[in-house]
Chains A and B, each alone.
Chain A
Amino acid sequence: MVPLAYYLVLSAVLFSVGMTGVLVRRNALIVFMSIELMLNSVNLTFVALSRSLSSIDGQLAVFFTIVVAGVEVVVGLAIIVEIFRSRASVNVDDVDLLRG
């Protein structure tokens, strides 16, 4: 008895929160976690619509999203560790070599 709209709104709010986190926080790890938050909100959308349209394909999308998110986290964290090793900082503002 839950309208689809509720799930979608929750998903939108989670996404926005995650977005704000990416923009506001300076700690690279927390930024990363915010990104995971965004990914999850999209997963929720997929699952909700899969149920609404009675198609299993939505859940397959979530499946692959989770797999790729896993890989992404692994590689991303490895990079963060690598950057930490050379700069002793995880402040995203310190990585500004692209400054023109």
Chain B
Amino acid sequence: MASFAWTIPLWPLLGWLLLGTLGGRLPRRVVSLVGCGSVALSFAASLLAMLTFPGEPQTVQIFSWIAAGDFSVAAGLLLDRLSLVMVLVVGGVGLLIHIYSIGYMAGERAYSRYFAYLNLFMASMLLLVMGSSLLVLFVGWEGVGLCSYLLIGFWFDRERAANAGRKAFIVNRIGDAAFLVGILVLWNALGTLDLRTIAERASTLSAPVMLTASLLLFVGATGKSAQLPLYTWLPDAMEGPTPVSALIHAATMVTAGVYLIARLFPLFTHPITLLVISTVGALTALFAATIALVEWDLKRVLAYSTISQLGYMFLAMGVLAPAAGLFHLTTHAFFKSLLFLAAGSVMHAMHDVIDMRRLGGLAGPLRYTAVAFAIGALALVGIPPLAGAVSKDMILERAAEHAAAGGSVLPLLLGLLTALVTSVYITRAALHTFLGRPADPQTHPHEAPPVMARPMGILALLAVFGGLLGAGLAGAPLLRFLAPQFGEAAHVPAAAGGAAPTSVATITSPLAIIVAVAGVVVGLVAYRGRRDPDLGMWGRLARSHFGFIHLYDGVFVPIAKRLAWTLAGPVDLGVIDRAVNGVGALLAGGARGLRRLQTGYVRHYAAIILLGTILILAYWVIR
């Protein structure tokens, strides 16, 4: 089994190599075949790995990467329950989006470059979730960051896109810096970077070290998963092609932070760490949901929605419910990418218009897309039995139990409030995009072609039935699969053989449903007929991101710019260049001086020979 596991990240890597070098000269059909075929092969390998999984984690070492004294890192892949779940989600959703891209990017000149980057991303992401060592994970981490930059700025001649790519990379970097320091702390304390070993020995760490390492790693996760305060890059990342937004910025890359915490879960058990994680997650969830309420760009609404849902996942991690967080990761991948693909279909039909003020009335001509969007929206809102409902309910149940057991009640409250706002903003988006009178009656939108529609359909089915993966009635296969990884933190539902829920938990489920439905009703009422009510002070606060925009633009960015200019000018030009040129000048001057010895006069040469002879003579005499 393990022998072919290493091909899972290999196929997309080969695809990238092939398309990156020869892609421009290959016909479109071949590019599509290679681009999607590599992912299909990878997904098939993942399925095979799942079917033949023996139950115990397996490590495949590809080669010994670093061997320096007593520091050694193996370039290896870890195949266990967690990584299997991740590769299936990444591979499956990735494959659907690759197929969708064939249609969406059909008119694009740089077709092969797109698929090359997308394949490279898949390879990096799979490496990230399969890496056996923290350092291998980090390689994948950086790789997806790079691909994010490349794909956000895919249309690099557009200034907004280029800026957005750069912003994403730089903000990510801040998180990565903390991540690296965390890696150093862990190595210093444990002497190894092997993930399984770290997880096993996490309990041997002293409390301050565990706190420091876990917080540093969390900051890294914050950058990659766009939580407060490193969230600013994700909405701007919508400048990239829509399938990229679906794949990278909804389903996979942004979940890397969640995966990291799940993977090293025993490390994140310090009470302060848990408090920080759950609070940041909960606050981010509400924060982003509020902003989604005042955005007009449909993709940006979905971007803030992603940030918000990621907040839910971190919230779950913070209340010691990692399996629930991973379950939500899976269902979110289904319905959020569905929503994005539907938005892409809208853009495809409306010639890249995505401002909701210019849309409307698309439910008629784009019936299929509208239904898909509706399914995704209902899943997001949390209407049972759709996928998002089951996973979100589970998280809220855990939050309630956490509060009842003496923990903070903030995650539960914020979680419920966010659910309300979520319903409102997605209803608003649906109304403005699909219902009411069209803003521009002259347009004649047409529905998406089958190559785009079929992946949406599959995702819709997954969004509807995906909840069964964790529902007690269906035996909660996902949770039971993950149970050996997390022990009792897997929270297998009672109906599937787990522990009985506490009394508190039994009331959160109905409460969450009520809140969700109430939000939809509020949205329908407030935004019927594509109305735009004035939200007054709250609207202004939301639009300024509760002051964050001013903080960034007014404080951090100017400081960074000043620092950059100082380093570029006085430091780089003045000091470094001068030093380097100085060495050159020194050598040239020395050479010029030595040149004066070559006078051309035989007598001078004879004199110097004599001088040398005298020195030798003197040496002999003295000895």
Could you tell me if A95 and B598 are in contact, using CB atoms closer than 8 angstroms? no
Contact with B along A2-44 (1 / 0, CB 8 A): 0000000000000000010011101000000000000000000
Q: List the B side residues contacting A98 at CB < 8 Å.
A: 598, 600
Among A19, A23, A24, A99, the residue within 8 A (CB) of B599 is A99
Count of B interface residues, CB-CB < 8 Å = 10
Q: How far is it, in angstroms, between the C-alpha of A19 and the C-alpha of B609 when the chains are bound?
A: 11
* B601 and A96 form a contact (CB under 8 A): yes
A15–B257 CA distance with the chains assembled, in angstroms: 88
A98 CA / B595 CA spacing, docked (Å): 11
Q: Does B610 contact A (CB under 8 A)?
A: yes
**A92 interface contact, C-beta 8 A:** yes
Q: Which of B598, B600, B610 touches A19 (beta carbons < 8 Å)? A: B610
Does A93 sit within 8 A of B, measured CB to CB?
yes
**Does A88 have its Cβ within 8 Å of any Cβ on chain B?**
no
Residues of A close to B595: CB separation below 8 A: 100
Tell me the bound Cα distance from A100 to B599 in angstroms: 7
Kindly state whether residue A1 has any CB partner on chain B within 8 Å: no
User: Pick the contact of B601 from A19, A24, A92 — CB < 8 Å?
Assistant: A92
B623 contacts the other chain (CB 8 A): no
Contact of A22 among B598, B599, B601, B606 (CB under 8 A): B606
Q: Which residue of B lies closest to A26 (CB)?
A: B603
Q: Which of B595, B599, B600 has the most CB of A within 10 A?
A: B600
Does B607 belong to the interface (CB within 8 Å)? yes
Does A67 reach chain B (CB closer than 8 Å)?
Answer: no
**The residue from A22, A97, A99, A100 contacting B603, defined by CB atoms under 8 A apart:** A22
Number of A-B contacts (CB under 8 A): 28
* B603, A96: Cβ atoms closer than 8 Å: no
B600 touches A97 (CB 8 A): yes
Task: Indicate with 1 or 0, residue by residue over A63-100, a CB within 8 angstroms of chain B CB atoms.
Answer: 00000000000000000000000000000110111111
Interchain CB contact under 8 A, B603 and A93: yes
The reply to whether B610 and A96 contact each other, CB–CB distance below 8 Å, is: no
> Would you call B598 and A23 a contact (CB within 8 A)?
no
Q: Given A19-B610, A23-B610, A100-B595, A92–B600 Cβ distance below 8 Å? A: no
Q: Note all chain A residues with C-beta closer than 8 A to B603.
A: 22-24, 26, 92-93
Which residues of B sit under 8 angstroms from A96, Cβ to Cβ?
A: 599-601
Which residue of A is nearest B603, CB measured?
A: A23
Distance in Å: Cβ of A50 to nearest Cβ of chain B: 23
* Assembled-state Cα–Cα distance A26/B606 (Å): 13
Q: Do the beta carbons of A23 and B607 come within 8 Å of each other?
A: yes
Complex Cα spacing A42 to B601, Å: 26
Counting CB contacts under 8 A, is B602 at the interface?
yes
Rounded to whole angstroms, the CA-CA distance of A95 and B610 in the bound complex is: 20
Q: Which residues of B contact A95 (CB under 8 A)?
A: 600, 602
**In the complex, chain A residues whose CB is within 8 Å of the CB of B598:** 98-100
> Which residue of chain B is the closest to A93 with respect to CB atoms?
B601
In the complex, what distance in Å separates the CA atom of A23 from the CA atom of B602? 9
Question: Inside 8 A of A92's CB, which chain B residues have their CB?
Answer: 601-603
Name the B residues within 8 Å of A26 (CB-CB).
603
Q: Is the CB of A23 within 8 A of B601?
A: no
Mask: chain B, 572-614; 1 = CB below 8 Å from A; 0 = not? 0000000000000000000000010011111100110010000
Q: Hey, which chain B residues are within 8 Å of A24, CB to CB?
A: 603
Measured CB to CB, the nearest residue on chain B to A24 is: B603
Q: Write the B423-448 contact mask toward A (1 if CB under 8 angstroms, else 0).
A: 00000000000000000000000000
Assembled-state Cα–Cα distance A92/B603 (Å)? 8
Question: What residues of B have a CB within 8 angstroms of the CB of A93 in the complex?
Answer: 601, 603
Task: Give chain B nearest CB distance to A25 CB in angstroms.
Answer: 9
Decide: B606 and A23 in contact? CB cutoff 8 A: yes
Which residues of B lie under 8 Å from residue A19 when comparing CB positions?
Answer: 610
Report the nearest A residue to B597, measured CB to CB.
A100
Chain B proximity of A21: nearest CB distance (Å): 11
Give Cα distance in the complex from A23 to B611, angstroms. 12
Is the beta-carbon distance between A99 and B600 smaller than 8 angstroms? Answer: yes
Q: How far, in whole Å, are A92 and B602 apart by their CA atoms in the complex?
A: 7
Chain B residue with minimal CB distance to A28?
Answer: B602
Specify which chain A residues have a CB less than 8 angstroms from the CB of B601 in the assembled complex. 92-93, 96
A24 to B600, CA, bound (A): 16
Cα separation A23 to B610 with both chains bound (whole Å): 10
Residues of A within 8 A of B607 (CB): 23
Q: Which residue of chain A has the shortest Cβ distance to B599 in the bound complex? A: A99
Nearest Cβ on chain A to B598's Cβ, whole angstroms? 3
A15 to chain B, nearest CB (A): 11
Kindly provide the distance from the CB of A28 to the nearest chain B CB, expressed in whole angstroms. 9
Residues of B contacting A97 with CB < 8 Å?
600
Tell me the complex Cα distance, A50–B595, Å: 45
Q: How far is the CA of A22 from the CA of B598 in the complex (A)?
A: 18
Instruction: Output the nearest chain B residue to A99 by Cβ-Cβ distance.
Output: B600
Residues of A within 8 Å of B600, CB to CB, are: 95-100
Question: In the complex, what's the smallest C-beta–C-beta distance from B169 to chain A, in angstroms?
Answer: 53
B611 → chain A closest CB, angstroms: 11
Residues from chain B with a CB closer than 8 A to the CB of A99 are 598-600
Beta-carbon nearest neighbor of B594 in chain A: A100
Min Cβ gap A99→B in Å is 3
Q: Measured between alpha carbons, how far is A98 from B603 in the docked complex, in Å?
A: 13
Between A and B, 8 residue pairs with Cβ closer than 8 Å are A23-B603, A26-B603, A92-B603, A93-B601, A95-B600, A96-B599, A98-B600, A99-B600
Given contacts A23-B606, A96-B601, 14 further A-B contacts (CB under 8 A): A19-B610, A22-B606, A23-B607, A23-B610, A92-B602, A92-B603, A93-B601, A93-B603, A95-B602, A97-B600, A98-B598, A98-B600, A99-B598, A99-B600
3 closest Cβ contacts across the A-B interface?
A99-B600, A96-B600, A100-B598
- A→B interface (CB under 8 Å): 19, 22-24, 26, 92-93, 95-100
